[in-house]
Structure 1
Amino acid sequence: MSKKAIPRIYDKAGKQVKVADKSWYTLQASGKAEQQTIEVFVYGEIGTWGVSANQFVQDLRAMDDGASPVIVAFNSIGGDLFDGLAIHNSLSRLGERCTGRIDALAASAASVAVCGAHRVVIAANAMLMIHNPYTFTGGDAEDFRRVADVLDQTLEAIIAAYKSKAPDIDEAELRRMVNAETWLTANEAVALGLADEVGDGLKVKACLGQGSVLQRFQNAPAELLAQLDEEPDVEPADPVNPPDPAPVLDAAGLALMVTKGCAAAGISNLVDPILASTKLESEAVVTAALTKAKALHGLCVAARLPELTGEFLAAGLDEAAVRARLFDKLVSSGGGFEINNSLPLDNDPAPTITAKQVDTQSIWATRQAAQNGTSKGARA
């Protein structure tokens, strides 16, 4: 019998996902289709800043033959609740051939999504986190009452998602744990019915470089937060045969490096901002600037505002600041609001309320008219 083929969905074509990779979405297939297993890695945020449920469902549909087993591996801090619910329902429709696997963390919207799988296997050292939906908005008292009602309704959707996986769970206790933001170990998740089996432990970074996002939550376990300070694994240098030193690039070489790097990433419009910000100081500075430019470009493209990338890059903004500015623009340009069950970062900008500006000319004209009317009345 030939070896099983394992098509995988990642985020960069032909690239195998490593545990330290922040990304998670692309397609890879090999072997005979009738013996394949489809494996999906949800390694990152769900929704606007990751991959939308629409993209997830369409790509999985294109790969799925209707018969192959589907394994969906999660290591995600969550994200957009409605995208999480959509992924939950897409996994549920696969029936018994779908297995959800929690490799390190299924938090927030990711915990909702994974519970759509027929069978959930959680690694011995992994965690599952559940909590209330969260959003923010602006407006008058009626606007806030309406948003509170919507949050109550979305909470019911979250409860229903968990109960679909664990129908015998005590609902009152489930609501208490959701309200308290509860982090469940593998054994606790199985005991509650939110997972079916404890698997082998894996060493996977909890947040794939999204440590600041993990700090959104109120009760994140100390052992997960401690991983944020761990030094990355580095291959030891060979003391006997040290590598030849790389040649030092001059200004012309660094400029060429910027041009080629931007062209390869499809961001040639950012050559000038990168040249200006780095001043071609060194290869390390240029490399860091290219990496940052790619990340900011990705955020702006996800928000459908790619034209703002150069402005943000020239301003020296980091990813967190760009996310905040893009979110403000998206919210201010739309008529509604977004429900997201991720909590705000400590350094998120506080929402601002702009008072209506006083129209001094209108006030002066009104007063003059009133005074003229009074004078005329007195003379009549």
Structure 2
Amino acid sequence: MSKPALPRIYNRTGQRVKVQDKTWYAMQESGDAEERVIEVFVYGEIGTWGITANQFVQDLRAMDDGVSPVIAAFNSIGGDLFDGLAMHNALSRLGERCTGRVDALAASAASVAVCGAHRVVIASNAMLMIHNPWTYAAGDAEDFRKVADVLDQTMEAIIVAYKAKAPDIDEAELRRLVAAETWLTANEAVALGLADEVGDGVKVKACLGQGAVLQRYQHAPAELLAQLDEPPEPDIELEPDPSDPPQEPPVANSAKLALMITQRCTADGISNLIEPLINSTKLESEAIVLAGLARAKAVNDLCVAARLPEFSAEYVAAGLDAASVRARLFDKLVGSGKGFEIDNSLPLNADPAPKVQAKQPDPTSIWAARQAAQSGSANTSKGARP
């Protein structure tokens, strides 16, 4: 059985950029000292369940020399707004040497982030999506009023971020487009001032394994959603890269691999995932099994954190990666598009200890006991006479 196809992305010189997983987050430099260029690829969800602003800023700071041009390439369905704003500000501080590039999709928080660049180039077949901030919450009526106030405040932050990129844009029209969840083509983005130039089109999957998240939007273009149903592209073998680490030889002994899965799962307390892991990895090689074990542990941790551990075996058996599991768990938590769920129960780890209730007095029993005591006392007195 051949290995599943891995995502491949290339930098501006046509060289392949190595990625660690389906998040596709990478930062690299190219060229000699005089022509050094820093390229950042934000290919995935923004925020805690993907590419965090802290990771982005720290990596950029470590590589930036203060003079080299920086190209920030985006292909993201969005994510956490505040992380997106932090990325926006980090790119803005770079000044004129920063170019933002929309390779396929910059939606939601990603559109906010890329607008921090001094110059934005959007591929001719790419899109920019802007919409109102939204969240989900739990609590009483007062809690929801506070959440609504916070959403109003974050809306203003979004408007400021877009106007920083397009100062001449009509604010009333901008607010209308944001409220309507507007998907802008490359030419429309340039016309509004949210991008500066239309670049060459490139074929890049817009969903990045996060189709469930993309489907949550109300007006996602049909051509993007259609990509969810496309079969995976065949894996094209490339010439070996001398810098790639040597590949481990395949392990032929399936029993050894099955034993490895059994021992690791038992040690990690996820013995319920032994069979799903064997089925999903097909015991193809040691490398695949090790990757499957790491994936299963991550998936199980996510399900436990979401208080939905019953789904971990299903997701591991399906071979889902962490990003896909996050999207599915998020959908389950927020319900069917309602945006939040009301739950009056206390958290599982904060249940109060059961109280010992004092026994309530029973007047009937007390009266009967007194009568019995008095009757016994009278009988004893009569029997004591000579």
Same fold (TM over 0.5): yes
Cα distance between partner residues in 2 of 1:325 and 1:345: 11
1:310 to 1:181, Cα distance in 2 relative to 1, 3 A:
closer
Deviations 1:113-137, CA, capped at 9 Å, x for gaps: 0000000000000000000001111
Q: Which has the higher contact order (CA 8 A, sep 6+)?
A: 1
CA contact (8 A) 2:257 2:283 kept: no
**2:343 paired residue among 353, 363, 366:** 353
Aligned to 1:215: 215
Aligned to 2:5: none
Deviations 1:116-159, CA, capped at 9 Å, x for gaps: 00000000000000000011111111111111011000000000
SS of equivalent to 2:105? strand
**1:284 paired residue among 282, 285, 290:** 282
Cα distance between partner residues in 1 of 2:52 and 2:73: 16
CA contact (8 A) 1:293 1:313 kept: no
1:58 aligns with 2:58: yes
Aligned to 1:16: 17
Query: For residue 268 of structure 2, what is the amino acid of its counterpart?
Result: N
Query: For residue 159 of structure 1, what is the amino acid of its counterpart?
Result: I
Deviation at 1:28, TM superposition (A): 3.8
CA contact (8 A) 2:30 2:38 kept: no
**1:255 paired residue among 236, 249, 258:** 258
Aligned to 1:323: 326
1:34 to 1:213, Cα distance in 2 relative to 1, 3 A:
same
Per mean C-alpha deviation after superposition, the further-off stretch among 285-294 and 51-60 is 285-294
What is the TM-score when the length of structure 1 is the normalising length?
Answer: 0.71
Query: For residue 109 of structure 1, what is the amino acid of its counterpart?
Result: A
CA contact (8 A) 1:296 1:309 kept: no
RMSD (CA atoms): 4.6
1:130 to 1:139, Cα distance in 2 relative to 1, 3 A:
same
Aligned to 2:67: 67
What are the ranges of 5 or more consecutive residues in structure 2 without an aligned counterpart?
1-8, 238-248, 367-386
Deviations 1:185-204, CA, capped at 9 Å, x for gaps: 00000000000000000100
Deviation at 1:277, TM superposition (A): 3.5
Alignment of 1:1-380 (within 5 A): 16-17=17-18, 22-29=22-29, 31-234=31-234, 251-255=254-258, 258=261, 269=268, 272-278=271-277, 280=278, 284=282, 293-295=293-295, 297-298=297-298, 313-314=312-313, 323=326, 346=336, 351-354=341-344, 365=360
1:274 to 1:9, Cα distance in 2 relative to 1, 3 A:
farther
What are the ranges of 5 or more consecutive residues in structure 1 without an aligned counterpart?
1-7, 238-245, 332-343, 373-380
Deviations 1:283-322, CA, capped at 9 Å, x for gaps: 537788865653454467799969x999864575765896
Cα distance between partner residues in 1 of 2:281 and 2:207: 28
CA contact (8 A) 2:300 2:309 kept: no
1:123 to 1:30, Cα distance in 2 relative to 1, 3 A:
closer
SS of equivalent to 1:23? coil
Cα distance between partner residues in 1 of 2:97 and 2:302: 32
1:139 to 1:16, Cα distance in 2 relative to 1, 3 A:
same
Cα distance between partner residues in 1 of 2:233 and 2:82: 36
What is the TM-score when the length of structure 2 is the normalising length?
Answer: 0.70
SS of equivalent to 1:71? strand
SS of equivalent to 1:40? strand
Cα distance between partner residues in 2 of 1:159 and 1:32: 39
> How much identity, in percent, do the aligned residues show?
61
CA contact (8 A) 1:296 1:322 kept: no
